[in-house]
Chains A and B, each alone.
Chain A
Amino acid sequence: MQKILPINYIEKINKDYFIIYIKNKELALKSKPGQFFELLPMGNYKGLLRKPISIYNIENDTIGFMIKKIGYGTKYLSQLKVGDFIDFLGPLGNSFNIPMNQKVMLISGGIGYAPLFYLSKELKNKHNSVIWIHGGRSEKDIFDSNIMNYTNDGSYGKKGFVTSNLEKILEVEKIEKVFTCGPQIMMKEISKITQKKEINTEVSLESYMACGIGVCKGCSVLIKKNNENVYKTVCKDGPIFNSKEVVWDE
């Protein structure tokens, strides 16, 4: 679906991160954890392509997008005000497979936190017990003091990486399923560990996108299907893939 909607509310987390909220019942009802929208700011925006942004939260009619300032597009989005219009295309892509009554673990790095937030709520609704490990460069990449946090520089939580103690935690907590979103290298390391332990793992991949609906083949990533490597689109076949299918070293 394509809808032009005004920003309803903006939450500034810190100088790098912010959340844009919009209200639309139809889109909220359709949106599933792991899906994303392609955003195009209206007005003076000088960029060409839309920006893919995950669904961070849904509450009744309200949809939240948590965004990290990276370059022109995300900085432009950060300067918008309540009432400014954004053109939304979505919800796009597939979604996480949500189990019931399981012990699951979420592992996020940096802005990878965003799609896992909505997922965590839906997991709890389906009576799963959820442990969440999050990592960031420093304190400003930490969003919730109630989860297990790591920082590379030790400025908050434990010093190190989300993978530092992962094997042990997976064992002790008897984790049955893992969901992860973050830098490629982090997800690759996690997948190695969970594969060894034979724990079902879903990863949320990123790729440069244009159309967002499976037409241009610009976002293709290499995926293993029946012992053959084929290109699949992150926008339509993904962004969620089983970690076993992903060909990490390309």
Chain B
Amino acid sequence: MNNIETKLGKLQFQNPITVASGTFGYEYSDYVDFNKLGAIVTKTITKHPKIGNKPPRLFETSGGLLNSIGLQNPGLENFIKDELPKYRGFSTNLIISFSGSSISEFKEILLRLEDEEGIDGYEINVSCPNVENEGLAFGVDAKIVNKLTGELSKLTTRELTIKLSPNVTDIKEIAKAAEDGGADSLSLINTLLGMAIDWKTGKIYFKRGLAGYSGPVIKPVALNLVYQVAKTVNIPIMAMGGISNWMDALEFIYAGASVVAIGTQNFVNPKITIETINNLQNFLEEKKLTIKNLIGKANMEEK
């Protein structure tokens, strides 16, 4: 089993396959043995419950998915009461994703979660609007990401992962800011921005206009960003963006990811995580390779 083990910062992973926040939930336990995953990453929670955006919330494009869920979630306290107990029992890593509307709110949520057992790490979703900065997303401003990471890293010894948005001018700058702030690892990419318009009527499909774009079609974009960031920082990366099978997973590992997360593809094939782990394991055994030796080994050699 050794050849498939990996690490993300402080956390030991039995294999590099985990799930992208918001695309996985307890319902998948009917299809997947959670103990077999490298980690479980839960849906982003906020301090207060969020009812989410007005429908329609989904739209399929060729090879991609647009979503406008609006972070529908039960809120911190309901999560702790109703959902956390269900996830605690699994032997794998549990990473809780959360977001806030100000730095103090992020701190408050983290401190509340520190009281709870069974949590191995936090994934900080910085794609939310910052009320202290004209509602601009936290993730677009390197200074703020640096400050946020600095404040949060002081408060916990658990794994602290900053999830980067691709919707920025220079993701490397944001990545560096998070590293300098004390992040243990980075996770990328969150959804791209997209929209849909009906050519017959000109009608804008989503009530908010824009939506998050994910799925196989964004893989080349994600691969490039992971590659760029991996060259810039020294902390490990959890990669996501269009990963649909074990071969995609390997590509991201070559690009520099220590761990990879499957998102949209869970909706297509609820057993995709387990199938990916098994196929990856078989491949590594057959080729006598180990994950650790492949991370960041993308190359230009003729073979």
- B71 to chain A minimum Cβ distance, whole angstroms, is 9
Q: Output the nearest chain B residue to A207 by Cβ-Cβ distance.
A: B55
Interface residues of B (CB under 8 A from A): 22-25, 27-28, 30-31, 51-52, 54-60, 62-65, 67, 69, 72, 215-216, 264, 266-271
- Nearest 6 pairs between A and B by C-beta? A215-B25, A218-B58, A210-B267, A208-B58, A211-B267, A213-B27
Measured between alpha carbons, how far is A22 from B62 in the docked complex, in Å? 28
Choose from A213, A215, A221 the contact partner of B55 (Cβ within 8 Å).
A221
| Chain B interface, DSSP helix/strand/loop, else mixed | loop
Q: A211-B267, A213-B28, A214-B27 are in contact. Are A250 and B62 (CB under 8 A)?
A: no
Q: Quick check: is A164 within 8 A (CB to CB) of the other chain?
A: no
Cβ contact within 8 Å between B22 and A216: yes
> Contact residues of A with B, CB < 8 Å?
2, 40, 46-50, 87, 89, 207-221, 230-231, 236, 250
Q: Which residues of B contact A87 (CB under 8 A)?
A: 269
Contacts of A210 in B (CB 8 A): 58, 65, 67, 264, 267
With A2-B31, A213-B28, A220-B55 known as contacts, the answer to whether A48 contacts B72 (CB < 8 A) is no
The answer to whether B23 touches A208, judged by C-beta atoms less than 8 angstroms apart, is: no
In the bound complex, CA of A49 to CA of B23 (Å): 13
Say whether B67 contacts A218, CB under 8 Å.
yes
Residues of B within 8 A of A211 (CB): 23, 27, 266-267, 270
Residues of B within 8 A of A215 (CB): 23-25, 27-28, 266-267
Q: In the complex, what residues of B have CB within 8 A of residue A216's CB?
A: 22-23, 58, 67, 69, 267
Please give me the residue from chain B that is nearest to A1 by CB atom.
B30
**Cα–Cα distance between A40 and B60 once the two chains are bound (Å):** 14
Specify which chain B residues have a CB less than 8 angstroms from the CB of A40 in the assembled complex: 268-269
Partner of B57, one of A48, A212, A213, A217: A217
Contact (Cβ within 8 A) A230 B51: yes
Contact of A219 among B23, B54, B58 (CB under 8 A): B58
Contact B270 A231 (CB under 8 A): no
Contacts A215-B23, A216-B267 given; indicate if A49 touches B57 (C-beta within 8 A). no
- B268 lies within 8 A of A217 (CB): no
B59 to chain A, nearest CB (A): 7
